[in-house]
Amino acid sequence: MSSDKRKRYAIVPGSFDPMTIGHLDILRRASELYDKVYLAILINPSKDYLFNLETRKKIAEKACADMQNVTVIDDGGLLVDLARKLECSVIIKGVRDEKDFIYEKQMAAYNKNLAPEIETLLLPCHCDLLGVSSTKVRELLSVGDYENAKKILPCGTIEIILKQRNA
């Protein structure tokens, strides 16, 4: 029998610029596998975001409002430091294709070097969601195609996006 007393807490990190139904599917599956899940919006100083942190957080909070064991958090530090602080033993990321896998494998190795006690779990995305990405949402919004953007955004979040754009 395992004597591992670590908490069954997981962290789902990313930029979430913005969160999509693809992220939401991964988050929902993570919330079914773990007792507590943190959706962590990480701030990378070298990255330019379309949406400010407040909007990205609002979207994420709206998207996972029905998941009792999910908490949205933001942080400007290292992912592994945050995971340790929150007592998460697992980092969960979704992968759509080989390109994602190569990137996530590198990130997993990097994070494992920094924090050997934390595992990374890669979840393959649902086949219906292979073509979904934050990049596609941003592209659709840039040409004013809100109807198609809405199809790949979590329910009720297009309103939050339109509010930031009109502000």
Residues found near ligand PNS in the complex (CB under 6 A): 13-15, 42, 44, 78-79, 107, 110-111
Token digits for 32? 């079914």
Separation between Cα atoms, residue 150 and residue 38, nearest integer Å = 25
| Min dist. Cβ of residue 149 to ligand PNS (A) | 19
Nearest to ligand PNS of 76, 131 (CB atom): 76
* Catalytic residue status for 28: no
* Catalytic residue status for 23: yes
Residue 97's CB is within 10 A of a number of other CB atoms, namely 10
| Min dist. Cβ of residue 44 to ligand PNS (A) | 3
Residue 17 DSSP SS3: coil
Nearest to ligand PNS of 14, 140 (CB atom): 14
* Catalytic residue status for 96: yes
| Min dist. Cβ of residue 73 to ligand PNS (A) | 13
| Min dist. Cβ of residue 96 to ligand PNS (A) | 12
Q: Which of 96, 126, 138, 151 is catalytic?
A: 96
Q: Which of 2, 3, 47, 99 is catalytic?
A: 47
* Catalytic residue status for 133: no
Nearest to ligand PNS of 110, 162 (CB atom): 110
CA pseudo-torsion sign 120, 124, 130, 132: negative
Do the beta carbons of residue 154 and residue 59 sit within 8 Å? yes
**CA atoms in the 13 A half-sphere facing the CB of 31:** 17
Q: Measured in whole angstroms, how far is the alpha carbon of residue 51 from the centre of its chain?
A: 15
Strand partners, 73: 40
Active site residues: 23, 47, 96, 134
